Amino acid sequence: AQSVTQPDIHITVSEGASLELRCNYSYGATPYLFWYVQSPGQGLQLLLKYFSGDTLVQGIKGFEAEFKRSQSSFNLRKPSVHWSDAAEYFCAVGANTGNQFYFGTGTSLTVIP
Amino acid sequence: EAQVTQNPRYLITVTGKKLTVTCSQNMNHEYMSWYRQDPGLGLRQIYYSMNVEVTDKGDVPEGYKVSRKEKRNFPLILESPSPNQTSLYFCASSFTGGHREQYFGPGTRLTVT
């Protein structure tokens, strides 16, 4: 069965520092991978997605993620974090068969001045 | 404006009192889905629908019903709510299939006492 693991429940970074949020997935075929962000009290917004092709994908708000098949990972990165990036981040995988969608448990990001 | 709407946004009810949470999208999407979000568990898929009159169970369907009589609407029905269904609920839609980018509604916070 498909699954998504986000090993870091909570991360604190200083404003201006770099950020990496980890995501590992379990899926038998080439996955469809996503990162979503949820600001406090809000719905989910798509940051970026990977379907195929270039394994480094760029998203909105200066985020990027790299798909590494050998490590079953899809880590999210940002070179310089802004205070407005404080939110909950969810990695997700979609199945190209069965049409189900799986989310990780999320990583809560705190940004300190 | 392209969007997914949910109503109500907040609901407090009592055990056993049937309720319906509505979901509507104006993007002519074929795929719609319901999720519940609980602390530490991320989002879990309840039901999804590939098209009109086509629905299927997600990971946590117990205690919920859905219907898809029109392409734009996908209501979630709790026929006999229980306190363990207290949660934040999200509706989402995509053009086709759970492996494509999903657009999320703003969420419905349900409390069952």
Instruction: Convert the pLDDT of each residue in A45-72 to its tens digit.
Output: 999 999 888 899 999 999 999 999 999 9
Contact A72, A24 (CB under 8 A): yes
pLDDT value, residue A98: 62
Enter the tokens of residue A106: 């999320």
Is-contact B103 B93, C-beta < 8 A?
yes
B88 within 8 A of B107, measured Cβ to Cβ: yes
For residue A96, the model assigns a pLDDT of 66
Is A99's CB within 8 Å of B101's CB? Answer: no
Percent of chain A past pLDDT 90, that is, above it, reads 72
A59 contacts chain B (CB < 8 A): no
pLDDT at A112 (0 to 100) = 96
Interface of A with B in 12-41 (CB under 8 A): 32, 34, 36
For residue B76, which of B3, B23, B29, B30 has the smallest C-alpha distance?
B23
Using only the alpha carbons of chain B, give its radius of gyration. Answer: 13
pLDDT at A61: 94
* pLDDT value at residue A97: 66
% pLDDT > 70, chain A: 96
Measured between CA atoms, how close is B98 to chain A, in angstroms? 4
Is B43–A90 a contact, with Cβ atoms under 8 angstroms apart? Answer: yes
Check if A90 contacts B (Cβ < 8 Å).
yes
CA distances from B66 to A33, A34, B52, B76 (A): 27, 26, 12, 5
Which tokens sit at A24? 């590992």
Instruction: Check residue A40 and give its pLDDT.
Output: 84
B104: chain A residues, CB-CB within 8 Å: 36, 43-45
| Cis before B8 (ω within 30) | yes
Contacts of B99 in chain A (CB under 8 A): 32, 94-96, 99, 101
Q: Which residues of chain B have pLDDT under 50?
A: none
Asked if B105 and B23 count as a contact pair (C-beta separation under 8 A), the reply is: yes
Both structure tokens of B63: 């205690």
pLDDT value of residue B47 = 96
pLDDT of B94 reads 92
- Average pLDDT taken over every residue of chain B: 94
Cα-atom radius of gyration of chain A, to the nearest Å? 14
Residue A31: pLDDT band (50, 70, 90) is confident
CB within 8 Å of A7: residues ≥ 6 apart: A22, A24
Residues in Cβ contact with B30 at an 8 Å cutoff, skipping those fewer than 6 apart = B50, B51, B71, B94, B95, B96
Residue B109 contacts A, CB cutoff 8 Å: no
Is the pLDDT reported for residue A1 higher than 80?
no
